[in-house]
Structure 1
Amino acid sequence: MRVFVTGATGFVGSHAVAALLDAGHTPRLLVRDPAKAARVLAALGVDTGSVELATGDMLDGNAVAAALDGCRAAIHAAASVGVTGGGGDLVEINVTGTRNVVGGAVARGLDPVVHVSTIAVFVPPRDPVITADGPLASPRNAYGRSKVAAERYVRGLQDEGAPVTIVYPGGVVGPHQPVLDSLMEGLVAALRLVWPLPRGGVSVIDVRDLAEALARCVVPGQGARRWVLGGHHLTWRRYADLCEELTGAKVRRLPVPGAALLAAGVLLDAAKRVRSFDYPLTRDAAEFMIRLTPTDDRPALDALGMKLRPVEETLADSLRWLGEAGHLDAERVPFTRST
């Protein structure tokens, strides 16, 4: 099946391309820079000769429309993640892009149309466990607001009977992230500098598991579906413990009350407006750190016939790749290979 894909030069999208090829599909990739796409995919062992490249931007409705022609399904994996401070105009990217891609795919009768959302649309959650039926949050940060706005648009298409599958991943980690952001960026900063230990925790999903799930969603005739795939939920202390166990290197820990972490995020946001520097803690990121709860992934895993790999394997492979890519010093790289 020819599958239209956005975000193929990004973390989730590039791995989704590899998973689609493994499943026997023909991906057609909308990319702004074909040379960059070739470099990113080559790192995963994907030759661009095995995919179709369409040059264009998802914010360009005409380019999206032309690239959608001839496709039977679509995966919209492109998004700007602005939790850690970057991301540009999040509403323009995450809402307009979704309208062009998901709306355009639905208008052309593609089935299914897979929209990669985020568990952020449920944060701060109202219940102790996040489910696909949970209420949407009313976030204060720009990233959360943009994703909730895109979510409401896509759910509106589902309500009209469109065969759209929404997938809600947690924090995505794993090897071969083209540009460090979000959880991978935070992991490097915590290991290099200091590991904050507030209340709350983090949901960790391997990018390869998420990519496989997206490929398995490409089955026509299933109608509208919503799948939560937050992954393994870890307290921040357990997350640090695992990194120490895998590397044998001590993590510099800093117990911090949630209110203090939020205040630190506000101060760092102000400081970065005066002088740019790299540290991923922001007011928005701090809110996620202290308010995220576990997710109920069982409905999605059962429906897709999947089992997540152990979190130890995911973290070991992530840390090892971070070392190979020069993001971490040798002492932070696992001394035993994962299985």
Structure 2
Amino acid sequence: MSEVFLMLVSVTGGTGFVGAHSVAAFLRAGHRVRLLVREPSRVAPALTPLLPDLPSAEDAVEVVTGDVTDEEAVGRAVRGADAVLHAAAVYSFDSRRHASVRRTNERGAEVVLGAARAADANPIIHVSSVAALFPAPGRVVHEDTPVGRPRETYMASKAAAETVARGHQREGAPVVITYPPALLGPHDPRLGDQTARLRDVLRGLMPLWPLGGLPLGDVRDTAELHTRLLTPYGEGSGEGRARHFGPGHYLTTRRYVEVLREVTGRRLPTLFLPARAMLPAGLLADLAQRVCPWHLPAQYGAVYVCACATRVGEGVSTGGIVPRPMAETVGDTVRWLHANGLLSDRQAGTARGDLTPVRAS
């Protein structure tokens, strides 16, 4: 068993889906945590459900108020930290958020990784995305797959941030990159795109799906990966070994709907069409979304992912974590949505009851 280093970890994006689950995993492992957040009022709602044994989730972390594009605030957040987890990003295919996606994701990576490096943090974990590698030149992606050149705003912003992180790696900085797949799981503080999409399917708002597939995993597995990476990254370890894929599965869209049917016991009638044939409709939906005050379930980005996503190659590093079965992940997501009044009894079907207990690390 590897030696455990207890650290002060500075975290950006700690009130988001990946960030909150990672912070909870860090605290359960005995680390101390400092959060950089724009709105301190979001800390308790994000962490309390994940840390029920603590008298106050807010008291368990130190909070610095600021934005990831604010150099002064970021400098205060990382000062004296042993390690940094940069998980802040705007993850959305919503066309109304394109400007904030580009600004936060690329500029945030420049500011945070640069400040963490200046503060001598080790490791500096940059949360990228497997989408940053799409479209890939081969049939699988792996640690040495070049940065993608996608024609979609969110994916392009993550590719730009990935370029920043790889630049630090080439210069010998202790930057470690993780590539989470699309993530589901319980306790999503802001009902992100993937959780909202699953909910839309069960509410009958997505009877039409593109053919293709997507990488999908459990947020709790990615949080465990981040915890296992909290050891000082030694010199001469090599760029490739500083890149790790979030545990997950590649699911065709047909299989995704099948898993939902199995978990809920519902029929969920669905029509599948070629993804590339649906791209023009996705573009039209994005244009309509810019003027429509309501959320539209059809998005160009989601269709584009299905059109260009490929599998993660065998033998890549996932921190030694075996991904949970998708039925467990999807079931816990549906149960959480139902328990919080976001799905009716009919919509949740047979997937009602208690969540899967937290796994021991």
Question: Do the aligned partners of 2:211 and 2:254 also contact (CA within 8 Å) in 1?
Answer: no
Match of 2:26 among 2, 20, 24: 20
Matches within 5 A, 1:252-331: 252-296=269-313, 298-301=315-318, 304-331=319-346
Question: Do the aligned partners of 1:114 and 1:164 also contact (CA within 8 Å) in 2?
Answer: yes
Matches of 2:183 and 2:152, distance apart in 1: 20
Q: Which runs of 5+ in 2 are unaligned?
A: 1-6, 357-361
Match of 2:223 among 194, 211, 217: 211
**Does structure 1 residue 184 correspond to structure 2 residue 201?**
no
> Secondary structure of 1:321's match?
helix
Matches of 1:49 and 1:298, distance apart in 2: 40
Letter in 2 for 1:215: T
2:182 is aligned to: 171
Matches within 5 A, 1:46-85: 47-85=57-95
2:49 is aligned to: 43
**Superimposed CA distance per residue, residues 147-198 of structure 1 (whole angstroms, 9 cap, x where no aligned partner):** 1111111111100000110001110110011112222121112222234332
Question: Do the aligned partners of 2:17 and 2:192 also contact (CA within 8 Å) in 1?
Answer: no
Matches within 5 A, 1:220-259: 220-222=232-234, 223=237, 224=239, 225-229=242-246, 231-259=248-276
Q: State the TM-score, normalizing by the size of structure 2.
A: 0.89
1:5 is aligned to: 11
Matches of 1:183 and 1:77, distance apart in 2: 17
Letter in 2 for 1:240: V
4+ runs deviating over 4 angstroms = 335-339
Matches within 5 A, 1:28-177: 28-45=34-51, 47-87=57-97, 88-177=99-188
- Say how many residue pairs are matched: 337
> Secondary structure of 2:337's match?
helix
Question: Do the aligned partners of 1:84 and 1:181 also contact (CA within 8 Å) in 2?
Answer: no
Q: State the TM-score, normalizing by the size of structure 1.
A: 0.94
**Superimposed CA distance per residue, residues 36-84 of structure 1 (whole angstroms, 9 cap, x where no aligned partner):** 1112111212622121111221111001101211111000000011324
> Secondary structure of 1:110's match?
coil
> Secondary structure of 2:290's match?
helix
Structure 2 CA distance for partners of 1:170 and 1:195, relative to 1, 3 Å: farther
> Secondary structure of 1:89's match?
helix
Q: Which runs of 5+ in 1 are unaligned?
A: none
2:214 is aligned to: 202
Question: Do the aligned partners of 1:7 and 1:79 also contact (CA within 8 Å) in 2?
Answer: yes
Percent of aligned pairs with the same amino acid:
39
Residue 122 of structure 1 and its aligned partner are, at CA, apart by 1.3
Letter in 2 for 1:329: S
Matches of 1:22 and 1:284, distance apart in 2: 35
Letter in 1 for 2:109: T
Question: Do the aligned partners of 2:12 and 2:37 also contact (CA within 8 Å) in 1?
Answer: yes
Matches of 1:329 and 1:130, distance apart in 2: 39
Q: Which moved more, 1:273-282 or 1:206-215?
A: 273-282
Matches of 1:40 and 1:260, distance apart in 2: 39
Matches of 2:96 and 2:81, distance apart in 1: 32
2:3 is aligned to: none
